[in-house]
Amino acid sequence: MLIVVPFVSFKLHGFDRRYRERTPCIYVINHLSFFDTFCMAMQPVSDISFAVRAWPFRRLFWYTYFMRLARYLDVEKLGFSESLGSAQEIVAAGGSILFYPEGHRSRDGELQRFYSGAFLLALKLGLPLVPLCISGTDILLPPGTFKMQPSTIRMHALDPVDPTQFSGLGAHLTMRKQVKEAMARELARMRREEIR
């Protein structure tokens, strides 16, 4: 984070005492930039394991040891059953799990298609799902460049979603749809706030 401090101001919303009491939980956050992961350090909660696709383990080989140490879940390689087992161990130790439900960075700032893993996991484990919305990291480091620019990074925590409110065969799909809509509304509101 020290690298970006000269370029950035940070603004947090919704991270009060009640937020810290919601752990363990499943977090979902939109994905705009390489720096999104590092911005998770702004949270008042630190015991978070990241659910990621296989490519960081394959391509960031110098970082793989640290990802394993931090209990990153390679959900692409493990599949759902093994990921569930690993997630149960993380939660039993008091940790939470964070997903980028889009699976990759958005190139235009709009939410992309959501994958179902986080929502299925929240239902299986009976954990609250906390949506997070981040903006400004795409301005700090625009896609396709290596030149950082000054930016205000905002991260907003939305109200937790109770998985017991969803039932039936498509429960995870209903939850996924509602969470995506809530995040889209909040991101639009954040953009309007930035324009003012």
DSSP code, position 156: E
- Of the ranges 71-80, 84-93, 139-148, which is most confident? 84-93
Residue 176's contacts (CB-CB under 8 Å, 6 or more residues apart) are 101, 114, 116, 119
70, pLDDT greater than 60: no
User: Which of these ranges, 30-39, 97-106, 116-125, 160-169, has the smallest mean pLDDT?
Assistant: 30-39
7, pLDDT greater than 90: no
d(Cα 81, Cα 75) in Å, to the nearest integer? Answer: 10
d(Cα 138, Cα 151) in Å, to the nearest integer? Answer: 9
What pLDDT, on the 0 to 100 scale, is given for residue 164? Answer: 95
d(Cα 35, Cα 94) in Å, to the nearest integer? Answer: 26
Residue 71's contacts (CB-CB under 8 Å, 6 or more residues apart) are 49, 86, 90, 95
Tell me the CA end-to-end span of the chain in Å, nearest whole number.
27
pLDDT (mean) for 29-39:
84
pLDDT (mean) for 167-195:
93
134, pLDDT greater than 90: yes
186, pLDDT greater than 90: yes
Q: What residue segments make up the domains of the chain, in order of their start?
A: 5-195
Please give the backbone phi and psi of residue 7, each rounded to the nearest 5 degrees, phi first. Answer: -100, -10
What pLDDT, on the 0 to 100 scale, is given for residue 161? Answer: 96
Residues of the chain with pLDDT > 90, as a percent, come to 41
- Taking 3-state DSSP, the helix, strand and coil percentages for the chain, each rounded to the nearest 5, stand at 45, 20, 40
- In sequence order, which ranges of 13-146 are alpha helices (DSSP H)? 17-20, 36-39, 55-59, 64-69, 75-92, 117-125, 137-140
